[in-house]
Structure 1
Amino acid sequence: MTLAQDLKSALSQDDLAAARGLAAARVKTHPRDVEARMFLAELCVIAGELDRAETHAKLAATAAPDAAVGLGVFRQHLRALHARDAWWTQGALPTFPTGPSALSALALRLNIALRDEDGAAAAKALAALDDLRGEQPVVYDGTEAGDLRDLDDRLPHAIEALSAGGHYLWLDFAQISELAFHPASRPIDMVLRRARVTLQDGSAADIRVPAIYPEPRGGTSAPNAPASAAPADIALRLGRGTDFLDLPGGLTGARGLRCWLAGDRVLTCHEAQTLGFPPVTHGGAEGAMQTAGSA
């Protein structure tokens, strides 16, 4: 079998360590094998080791200068992932090219309250956000639904996006006209889905959408959550399932695969092919149309 097939087999068994071992062994014997080097970089991303991924991407670029453009986009996505981590762990704000929408401003307030373990303030911000959000109609994979909402209360109204310019963005559902996902073809697509986003203003860009939730802070396992909710759970890192947590203020957080509630159906980020949104105004969301490509 080829290395790609061997990696697919190992990952199908949730054996991330074995997959990394296979890629590392190939790189050790063939240090200028760019494909193997990039497979190893992608597996490092899945494992949450962004600095190691950057090291391998640099070495790949040195070995194959003609592939610099594609490798450069990968490294920009790593930069955006670092910015994402900085938001969820330190409170460094996401990028809002024209400023946060009213909904995103409330989500920022909500998450700051969670970071401060102020459950009352977090609950108040979520109530205001849900009230302002109302319902967000969606057409997912050709099926109409009256509302789309993320099942994680930390960001119920928007997607996270990584731009080719290295920025970590929030895009309100109301700002998006269509989100078209590409089929998965490489290991990294399990955790960062490739997509083409078209905004309501007509601008469009290629982005990566994180399919795996960031680790919640200060949460406890919900009563119906499986016992496999440990941060190091490889199955969750690979998006094999979703565990839910109780957060301060009665909010719900999640680990593992991102899920949306589309009408009365739970739609996972791995299942979705296209999400279409008719124009809707949510109390000032129109003031934050973000051109992901220019970011």
Structure 2
Amino acid sequence: MQDVSRLIADGELDAALQQTQQHIRQNPADPKSRILLFQLYCVQGLWDKALNQLNVLRDLDASTLLMVSTYEQVLLCEALRKDVFAARKTPLIFGEPPAWLALLLEALMRESSGDFQQAVQLRTQALQQAPATAGALDGTPFEWIADADSRLGPVLEAIVNGRYYWVPFIQISKIQLEKPTDLRDLVWIPAQFTWINGGEASGLIPCRYPGSEMASDARIRLSRLTEWNEVADGVMHGTGQRLLATDVDDYALLDVRTIEFNPAAGLE
């Protein structure tokens, strides 16, 4: 499967997918190849096919059961995530929902109906009302942090305990992100969260902005690039790898290892 690794490195995802499928037709009981196929389906946003591979792996190799149970829930979260950004559903909110977060959700609804001007106004209000959260990113202090995509701003998308959340940064004390080691880590990066109440949880952060899996550019699908699309006057949507903005600099999510917050500063 070395050729597949080279194809992925070169961004030839369709060819990598075809070669992996061919290998599995010849070696249907090879769990490593099926894990790779599952991951390729995830990169391509073929969620149903990815789920089918997990079902096969469950019966094929007991050592994959933890991975299977984890990512079954993650795939269901992706369906909900799509509906959230299309304003068909609302996300779970971690902690007590602040008033400004309702404005962000209302902005999604306005945008989905084509009222982009009102969506911009609502997001501007939300960003003005949301408290700044100071801290340090990999040791570099910042006075505030936000997702660079204004649809989210002071909110982090996260999958915790198999459920999709919007987590206000003011609810977080610390995030430790693992270094990507596998193809699926370019879709959802494992993270350890410490909440302001002292509780801890393991979870996953979606690496890519919604819809990135549909991009023609493999660099977008592989979280190697971030681009901004102007969907209306003054309305920019991110595609590709998530970008975190601070008063100091912008940071690609997969380059970040630790974010430590000073929650008290955000609650003043």
TM-score in terms of structure 2 length: 0.92
Q: 1:259 aligns with which of 238, 243, 248?
A: 243
Aligned-partner Cα distance in 2 for 1:73–1:254? 27
2:200 alignment partner in structure 1: 204
Q: Is the 8 A contact 2:94 2:167 kept in 1?
A: no
Aligned-partner Cα distance in 1 for 2:110–2:264? 28
Counterparts in 2 of 1:101 and 1:270: CA distance versus 1, 3 Å: same
1:104 Cα offset (Å): 2.1
Counterparts in 2 of 1:283 and 1:145: CA distance versus 1, 3 Å: closer
Structure 1 ranges of 4+ moved more than 6 A: none
Unaligned runs of 5+ in 1: 217-229, 285-295
Q: Is the 8 A contact 2:138 2:256 kept in 1?
A: yes
Q: Is the 8 A contact 1:239 1:257 kept in 2?
A: yes
Q: Is the 8 A contact 1:77 1:164 kept in 2?
A: no
Q: 1:89 aligns with which of 83, 86, 89?
A: 86
**Secondary structure at the residue paired with 1:153?**
coil
**After the TM superposition, which residues 67-82 of structure 1 pair with which residues of structure 2 at under 5 Å, given as runs?**
67-82=64-79
Higher relative contact order (CA 8 A, sep 6+): 1
Letter in 2 for 1:268: A
1:243 alignment partner in structure 2: 227
Counting aligned pairs with the same residue, the percent is 22
1:280 Cα offset (Å): 3.9
1:268 Cα offset (Å): 0.5
**After the TM superposition, which residues 192-231 of structure 1 pair with which residues of structure 2 at under 5 Å, given as runs?**
192-215=188-211, 231=215
Aligned-partner Cα distance in 1 for 2:96–2:134? 24
2:182 alignment partner in structure 1: 186
Letter in 2 for 1:109: E
Q: Is the 8 A contact 1:132 1:283 kept in 2?
A: no
Q: Deviations over 1:56-77 (max 9, x none)?
A: 1100111123532331111111
Q: Is the 8 A contact 2:133 2:265 kept in 1?
A: no
Letter in 2 for 1:60: L
**Secondary structure at the residue paired with 1:139?**
strand
Q: Is the 8 A contact 1:77 1:162 kept in 2?
A: yes
The answer as to 2:119 corresponding to 1:135 is no
- RMSD in angstroms over aligned alpha carbons? 2.1
1:274 alignment partner in structure 2: 258
1:62 alignment partner in structure 2: 59
Q: Is the 8 A contact 1:122 1:248 kept in 2?
A: no
Q: Is the 8 A contact 1:32 1:63 kept in 2?
A: yes
Q: Is the 8 A contact 2:106 2:122 kept in 1?
A: yes
Moved more, 100-109 or 269-278: 100-109
1:24 Cα offset (Å): 1.6
1:8 Cα offset (Å): 3.5
The answer as to 2:144 corresponding to 1:152 is no
**After the TM superposition, which residues 101-180 of structure 1 pair with which residues of structure 2 at under 5 Å, given as runs?**
101-165=98-162, 167-180=163-176
2:41 alignment partner in structure 1: 44
Aligned-partner Cα distance in 2 for 1:97–1:278? 18
Q: Is the 8 A contact 1:132 1:282 kept in 2?
A: no
2:6 alignment partner in structure 1: 9
Counterparts in 2 of 1:27 and 1:198: CA distance versus 1, 3 Å: same
Moved more, 252-261 or 169-178: 252-261
Q: How many residues align?
A: 267
Aligned-partner Cα distance in 2 for 1:21–1:250? 40
1:283 Cα offset (Å): 7.3
